[in-house]
C-alpha cells in the first residue's frame, strides 16, 4: 500500500499522512473504504502502531478520515476535505511563487513550467 523512505528527513507519521492523503486525493481510496487497523498497517510498515495512530488522527482532523468507534477508520466523502485542501494548497503555492519571483524567476519561465506540468491535462 505504501512505501516509506527512511532517508526522508520528515518524521515517519508525516510521511504516512502524506502518502495516505495522496491516495485519497488521487482517488485510489474511495469514500467509505475501510482503512487497515493501526496495528495491521503498523506491522506492514514495520512501524510502531502509535505512529500510525498519530497519522490517522491528523488525517481525521483534516477531514480525510472518519472513525466509527469499535469499527475502525474510513475514508471520508470528498466534500469533507476538497475545499480545505484546495485552499491550503493555493495559499502555499502563492507564497512559493512570491519567493520564486523574489529569487529572480520571471513570469515567462514560470508560465512555461506551468504548461509543462499541466500538459495533456484537461482543466
Partner DNA sequence: GTGGTCTAGACCACA
Binding residues vs DNA (CB under 7 A)? 11-14, 35-40, 46-51, 53-54, 56-57, 67-73
Residue found by looking up cell 494548497 in the block: 89
CA 54 from chain centre, in angstroms, equals 14
Sort residue 96 into left (φ over 0), alpha (ψ -120 to 50) or beta. Answer: alpha
Note whether 26 binds its own copies by CB under 8 A: yes
How far apart are CB 42 and DNA at their closest, in Å?
7
Instruction: List, in order, residues 6 or more apart from 123 with CB less than 8 Å away.
Output: none
6 binds, among its own copies, DNA, none (CB under 5 to 8 A by kind): its own copies
Note whether 99 binds its own copies by CB under 8 A: yes
State how far the Cα of 98 lies from the Cα of 19, in Å rounded to an integer.
Answer: 27
Residues in contact with its own copies by CB under 8 A are 6-7, 9, 11-12, 22, 25-26, 66-70, 74, 76, 82, 85-86, 89-90, 92-94, 96-111, 113-115, 117-118, 121, 123
Amino acid at each position: 500500500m505504501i512505501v516509506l523512505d527512511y532517508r526522508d528527513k520528515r518524521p515517519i507519521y508525516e510521511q504516512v499522512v502524506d502518502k495516505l492523503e495522496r491516495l485519497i486525493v488521487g482517488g485510489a481510496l474511495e469514500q467509505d473504504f475501510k482503512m487497515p487497523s493501526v496495528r495491521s498497517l503498523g506491522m506492514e510498515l514495520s512501524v510502531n502502531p502509535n505512529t500510525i495512530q498519530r497519522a490517522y488522527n491528523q488525517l481525521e482532523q483534516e477531514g480525510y478520515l472518519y472513525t466509527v468507534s469499535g469499527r475502525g477508520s474510513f475514508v471520508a466523502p470528498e466534500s469533507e476535505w476538497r475545499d480545505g485542501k484546495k485552499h491550503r494548497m493555493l495559499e502555499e503555492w502563492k507564497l512559493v511563487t512570491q519567493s520564486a519571483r523574489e529569487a529572480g524567476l520571471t513570469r515567462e519561465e514560470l508560465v512555461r513550467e506551468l504548461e509543462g506540468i499541466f500538459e495533456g491535462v484537461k482543466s
